[in-house]
């Protein structure tokens, strides 16, 4: 089975080497890039299953790299930053980050988060039977992990895709915020956490831009969400 390829974009060569070595030792194929421009160049060539991205990069910041990446790819991305404020995390989720690590970090935690993101995205060698889920003009390809409206592919983050697939798979079920969060993030839901709201808002905006006449996700007040 082909190895899962991970690109590590980190300008600190010691940290970059440490991360790549740890990933290689755990069965992944890791490659290092040291500037934002170099990272984007490799990402545009494709072939990666996951991006690990530091924010403080020379010439082109990690924020700018992530924003540009989301214009052409839904590749899962784990961001590394020295900042640990709630607002900073929300800003990164708005830009399309799938997970977040704060420096200094533990290598075991990095590995666990890599495995979790790949598992949620259906990467890492997991094979699933082809299946197309449909709702109106929306089609969700569960093998390719893509979604399209009227044949036009949506550019989604891994978590946005996860939310959409879950709602489309069970169109008559009402999912509470806790249901969705714990299913997609594999973490316990905290009612004050605004993360799900941010991702849901981004997903709805993308669906509306693709098909302005259709409301795909319905809010069931006091209960949660379901496909409309």
Structural domain harbouring 79: 3-119
Q: What is the pLDDT at residue 123?
A: 58
Mean pLDDT of all residues in 69-94: 80
> How confident is the model over 115-172, as pLDDT tens digits?
888 888 765 543 334 578 899 999 998 878 899 999 999 999 989 999 999 899 888 8
For the chain, the residue count is 228
CATH number, position 53: 3.40.50.2300
Indicate the residue among 119, 143, 171 that finishes a domain.
119
> How confident is the model over 168-220, as pLDDT tens digits?
988 888 888 888 888 888 777 877 778 899 999 999 999 999 999 999 999 99
Other residues' Cβ atoms within 10 Å of the Cβ of residue 17: 14
d(CA 13, CA 39): 14
Q: Are 53 and 80 in contact (CB under 8 A)?
A: yes
d(CA 45, CA 121): 20
Residue 153 lies in a domain: yes
Q: What is the pLDDT at residue 50?
A: 94
d(CA 55, CA 45): 21
Q: Are residues 145 and 115 both part of a single domain?
A: no
Q: Are residues 102 and 159 both part of a single domain?
A: no
Tally the domains of the chain. Answer: 2
Q: What is the pLDDT at residue 227?
A: 92
H or E, element range at 200 = helix 195-210
Global pTM? 0.56
Indicate the residue among 91, 119, 147 that finishes a domain.
119
Q: Are residues 197 and 113 both part of a single domain?
A: no
- As a whole number of Å, the CA-based R_g of the chain is 18
Mean pLDDT of all residues in 71-94: 79
**Maximum Cα interatomic distance, the chain, rounded to a whole number of Å:** 52
Q: Per DSSP, what are the bridge partners of residue 139?
A: 134, 148
How does DSSP classify residue 175?
A: B
d(CA 165, CA 74): 15
d(CA 106, CA 181): 25
Q: What is the pLDDT at residue 125?
A: 40
> How confident is the model over 100-124, as pLDDT tens digits?
888 888 888 898 889 888 888 765 5
CATH number, position 161: 1.10.10.10
Other residues' Cβ atoms within 10 Å of the Cβ of residue 104: 7
Q: Are residues 191 and 84 both part of a single domain?
A: no
């Amino acid at each position: 089975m082909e190895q899962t390829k991970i690109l590590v974009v980190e300008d600190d060569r010691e940290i970059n080497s440490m991360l790549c070595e740890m990933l290689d030792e755990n069965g992944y194929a890791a490659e290092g890039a040291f500037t934002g421009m170099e990272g984007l160049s490799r990402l545009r060539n494709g072939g990666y299953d996951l991006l690990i991205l530091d924010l403080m990069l020379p010439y082109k910041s990690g924020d700018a790299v992530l924003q540009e990446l989301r214009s052409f790819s839904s590749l899962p991305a784990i961001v590394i930053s020295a900042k640990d404020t709630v607002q900073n995390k929300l800003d990164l989720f708005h830009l399309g980050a799938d997970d977040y690590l704060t420096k200094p970090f533990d290598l075991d935690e990095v590995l666990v988060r890599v495995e979790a993101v790949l598992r949620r995205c259906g990467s890492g060698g997991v094979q699933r039977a082809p299946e197309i889920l449909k709702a109106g003009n929306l089609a969700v390809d569960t093998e390719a992990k893509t979604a399209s409206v009227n044949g036009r592919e949506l550019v989604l983050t891994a978590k946005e895709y996860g939310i959409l697939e879950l709602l489309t798979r069970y169109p008559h079920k009402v999912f509470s915020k806790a249901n969705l969060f714990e299913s997609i993030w594999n973490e316990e839901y905290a009612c004050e956490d605004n993360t799900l709201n941010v991702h849901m808002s981004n997903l709805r905006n993308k669906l509306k831009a693709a098909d302005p006449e259709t409301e795909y996700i319905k809010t069931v007040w006091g209960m949660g969400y379901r496909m409309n």
